[in-house]
Structure 1
Amino acid sequence: MPAPIAELSPRHRIELPKELREELKWKPGQKLMLMRRHDGVFICPEVTFEQLRGIAKGANTEGCRDRNDRY
């Protein structure tokens, strides 16, 4: 299946194709983050610090740098 295509309007707006919005379950008014990646843009739902809290719980930190090895 070919990748969905969107067009930049004269007012610099992009409408995401319906099948993509439905697949990702994105709703009108939902906040999206835009991150520049080389010569393109990565788009994803906004993530808050509260949603990120605890995602690394139990991670192995062995061999990680600490403040003592910085210049």
Structure 2
Amino acid sequence: MATATLSSKYQLAIPKEIREKLKLSAGQQFTIIPKGHVIELVPIQLPQALRGSLKGANPEDYRDHKDRY
């Protein structure tokens, strides 16, 4: 298990094995979500990085306005 130490300036360094596994880069921004005694860091994806992620999606079975009550 990878660990990190909080510095005197309240900074954390993400271990190399985690950075490589998640393909993080310098300057990457995160959303910080506190959950009780746990801190969750979620990388923010730029809209350009999501381009093409829905390629090939079939919109045939999507619910239409006429299906609503």
TM-score using structure 2 length? 0.63
Structure 1 counterpart of 2:28: 30
Aligned-residue offset at 1:32: 0.8
Deviation track 1:19-71 (CA, whole Å, cap 9, x = no partner) reads 1000000000011111001111001112578x6xx9xx848xxxxxxxxxxxx
Structure 2 counterpart of 1:12: 10
* Structure 2 residue 40 is the aligned partner of structure 1 residue 42: yes
Q: CA RMSD in A?
A: 2.5
In the alignment, structure 1 segments of 5+ residues that lack a partner are: 60-71
The count of residues paired between Structure 1 and Structure 2 equals 53
Aligned-residue offset at 1:8: 0.1
> How far apart are the structure 1 equivalents of 2:21 and 2:42?
13
TM-score using structure 1 length? 0.62
- Percent identity of paired positions between Structure 1 and Structure 2: 25
